[in-house]
Amino acid sequence: MSSRSNDPAGRTALVTGAGTGIGRAIALSLSRAGVRVGLLGRRSEPLQRVATAISSEDGEALAVPCDITDDRQIASAVKLVRAALGPVEILVNNAGVAHSAPISDVSDDAWDRLMALNVRAVFVLTRAIVPDMRDAGWGRIVNIASIAAHRGWRYTAVYTASKHAVGGLTRSLAAELSSLDVTVNAICPGYVDTPIVESAARVISDKTGRSEDDARDRLAAFNPMGRFVTPDEVAASVMSLVGANSGAVSGHSLIIDGGSQPV
């Protein structure tokens, strides 16, 4: 067990999909807790905006544009973050993509693309970062999954399969890494007010003729509380899993959707 404090302050985190939505909220929350943050994502401009926001609050961040479906780019990005901010002891696998189609319309390419981003990238990044955590004797891994890791809906077979896979990785890695004082947990939000939901509302509007506002309302209604989860609410849950008193919580899947699966 590490002789250092269990407080995350002064440590380095890496967050994927950090330029917008949930990833942005998580990165800002980590920085406000005194964590140095490596920001990964496909597009440079959103990452730079988050890095600037962190810097304006006297935090420390590094924006690294990266396609996390490319193993070589992952290796390069991790190397850059280590060199600039230090070994990574907090990993938030947030990046992901959604997909909806009848199974007969799902192409091999669509399957491969979702699995590469939603599953394989989680595995490759975790494998790359675990040595830092082993050396530190401390680590926190949070995988942003989905309520789809616990349920299934029509036309979401590929997405649902990918999120169930993340749940399996989470549970198995939690068991494997527990002796290192490394926790691994998943957060499973319902519908969150993000650009992905905006895109989904546009698709529904185009296909059905409903207004985008009506489409948004119908998506929000899937959450029992009748509204979207906010990115800040997801970020708050992440912080609870990386905080000073989080070491006994591992292998869990935290559903954040307002009560679809009460105890």
pLDDT one-digit tens code per residue, 208-258: 888 888 878 777 787 788 888 899 999 999 999 999 999 999 999 998 887
160-215 pLDDT per residue, tens = 999 999 999 999 999 999 999 999 999 999 778 777 777 777 877 787 888 888 87
Parallel, antiparallel or unpaired: strands 61-65 and 88-93: unpaired
In CATH, the number for domain 12-190+231-248 is 3.40.50.720
Q: What is the mean pLDDT of residues 13-39?
A: 98
| Predicted local confidence at residue 4, as pLDDT | 63
4 vs 86: which has the higher pLDDT: 86
73: Cα within 13 Å, side-chain hemisphere: 12
Regarding pTM above 0.85, the answer is yes
Q: Above 50 in pLDDT, residue 42?
A: yes
Q: How confident is the model at residue 261 (pLDDT cuts 50, 70, 90)?
A: low
127 token code pair: 């494998």
The predicted-structure confidence for 142-166, as pLDDT tens digits, reads as follows: 999 988 777 887 878 898 999 999 9
Q: What pLDDT is stored for residue 8 in this prediction?
A: 96
- At 44-88, the pLDDT tens digits run 999 999 999 999 999 999 999 999 999 999 999 999 999 999 999
Q: Where is pLDDT greater, at 15 or 263?
A: 15
- In this prediction, residue 247 carries a pLDDT of 94
pLDDT at 263 over 80: no
Which whole number is the average pLDDT over 128-137?
Answer: 98
Q: What is the pLDDT of residues 99-115, one digit of tens each?
A: 778 889 989 999 999 99
Nearest-angstrom CA–CA distance, 14 and 90:
6
Put residue 58 in one of left, alpha, beta given phi > 0 → left and psi -120 to 50 → alpha: left
The reported pLDDT for the residue numbered 176 is 98
Rounded CA separation 69/87 (Å): 22
Whole-Å CA distances, 87 to 80, 82, 137, 175: 10, 5, 12, 23
Residue spans per domain, the chain: 12-190+231-248, 192-228
Catalytic residue positions, numbered: 159
116 with 166: CB under 8 angstroms? no
